[in-house]
Amino acid sequence: MDIEQSLPPVQALPAQQVSRWRRTLRWTQLLMLLYLLLVAVSAVSSGFKIAAGNHAAELFEFASHPVAGLMIGLIATSLIQSSSTVTSIIVGLVAGGLPVGIAIPMVMGANIGTTLTNTLVSLGHAGDKTEFRRAFASATVHDFFNLLAVAIFLPLEMAFGLLQRLSSAFVPPFLDSGNMSMKGLNFMKPLISPGVDLMKAPFAGLGMLGGVLLALTGVLVLIVSITLMGKLMRSLMVGRAKRILQSAIGRGPLHGVASGTVVTTLVQSSSTTTSLVVPLVGSGVLKVRDVYPFSVGANIGTCITALLAATAITGDTAAFALQIALVHLLFNTLATLTIFALPVLRELPLKGAKLLADMATHTKWAIAAYIGVVFLALPGAVLLFTV
């Protein structure tokens, strides 16, 4: 008798069960990556403290001018292409001793730097002038909004410390109020300490050098964890995000901003959210005016990562870490409310984007000049003359 014939038939798992197992595995991976993110932020903070000692402010004297800080945030985000990553790093640095006042312009710069991705995505339509004009305008309307937001709020911050004062007023309720207090997150310290200790071990006894290496390792782990989290979130939520996108576009500014916030919270990447709509505008399915508020909402949705990162910080610096995360949220929320409340301001990003798109359609040098000046030459020149 054939042995193979005597064996019972192998039954394949139902497709639905396989799908459920895969989804469970992805959620488990997501939780592990979130843990890595929290460990990495704490490692950046610890490493910076060890390296800087009591001289953190002195290390960043070159960025004490707000415009220089703005450019550092812009360049860092242009290189990493994730404002979530850069703001999470800033949270760790603030917890390690970087003054909040220096960090605030860096957070503003991160908002501008993240817009480069969807501008590059629009170049995929360069073969057709009509499509390219629409796609490029839909991509750069986000740029112009963020530039306008900085033009309004950076002078206010320099003159009155607006965001620093507001954010400091919001910190005590989180730290002191009942069950919602940040003190209730003290369980985070024993939870993430084993991971941080494991990361510290190779650099023990190296002094300042060990602190630098620990901070750099934390930054590397943070970048990897956020990148992988973004991919997992997209695979888990892309269907839901698309449904929200389809139901939201063209139903008014408030609905657009709210849906952009929700979609970005789901996929954990404002670059992904804004890049999703560029091809749709290029092909004529959507209009620039329709996707404008949706892109603006992405600014608010991306703040969740820095707020999560702040929960990794405990002790005396927890308040400062939370404050800079709240600065990110307040800046984007207040910018949206201010610009959309005034029709004159609300139209400026649309007009700027359409004008630049017309120029880019006539000559591709306009594209190179725009990207080169805004994301490279201007930040480099400012840093050169302010350092």
The pLDDT tens digits of the residues spanning 217-270 come to 887 887 787 677 767 766 665 556 566 666 666 677 888 898 888 888 876 677
Nearest to 318 by CA among 91, 157, 107, 56: 91
In a domain, 377, yes or no: yes
Cβ(218)–Cβ(40) under 8 Å? yes
What is the pTM assigned to this prediction?
A: 0.77
Q: In the structure, what pLDDT confidence band is assigned to residue 175 with cuts at 50, 70 and 90? A: low
Per-residue pLDDT tens digits for 4-34: 555 555 555 566 676 777 778 877 887 887 7
Chain-centroid distance, C-alpha 372: 22
What is the rounded end-to-end Cα distance, in angstroms, of the chain? 86
Q: Looking at residue 141, what is its pLDDT?
A: 93
Which residues contact residue 322 at a Cβ distance below 8 angstroms, ignoring those fewer than 6 apart?
171, 174, 175, 182, 310, 313
In a domain, 315, yes or no: yes
Taking the C-alpha atoms of residue 272 and residue 274, their distance in angstroms, rounded to an integer, is 6
Q: Looking at residue 211, what is its pLDDT?
A: 82
Count of domains forming the chain: 1
Q: Name the percent of the chain lying above pLDDT 90.
A: 22
In a domain, 277, yes or no: yes
Chain-centroid distance, C-alpha 245: 20
* Size of the chain in residues: 387
Cβ(214)–Cβ(200) under 8 Å? yes
Q: Looking at residue 263, what is its pLDDT?
A: 81
Q: Which domain holds residue 117?
A: 43-386
Taking the C-alpha atoms of residue 270 and residue 295, their distance in angstroms, rounded to an integer, is 8
- Which of 46-55, 129-138, 228-237, 243-252 reaches the highest mean pLDDT? 129-138
Query: Sign of torsion, CA 198 202 208 209?
Result: negative
Burial (0-12, 13-18, 19+ Cβ within 10 Å), 235? middle
In a domain, 31, yes or no: no
Q: Looking at residue 334, what is its pLDDT?
A: 96
- How many alpha carbons lie under 13 Å from residue 8 in its C-beta half-sphere? 3
In a domain, 215, yes or no: yes
Mean pLDDT of 200-227: 81
Q: Looking at residue 58, what is its pLDDT?
A: 55
Nearest to 252 by CA among 260, 243, 263, 264: 260
In a domain, 142, yes or no: yes
Q: In the structure, what pLDDT confidence band is assigned to residue 179 with cuts at 50, 70 and 90? A: very low
97 vs 233, residue with greater confidence: 97
Q: In the structure, what pLDDT confidence band is assigned to residue 136 with cuts at 50, 70 and 90? A: very high
Taking the C-alpha atoms of residue 222 and residue 40, their distance in angstroms, rounded to an integer, is 5
- The three-class DSSP label of residue 111 is helix
Does 296 have pLDDT greater than 50?
A: yes
Q: Looking at residue 53, what is its pLDDT?
A: 61
CA dihedral 183, 165, 297, 262 (to 10 degrees): 10
In a domain, 311, yes or no: yes
Per-residue pLDDT tens digits for 309-321: 888 787 778 889 8
In a domain, 4, yes or no: no
Q: How many C-beta neighbours within 10 Å does residue 268 have?
A: 25
Which helix (H) or strand (E) covers residue 17, if one does?
Answer: helix 15-52
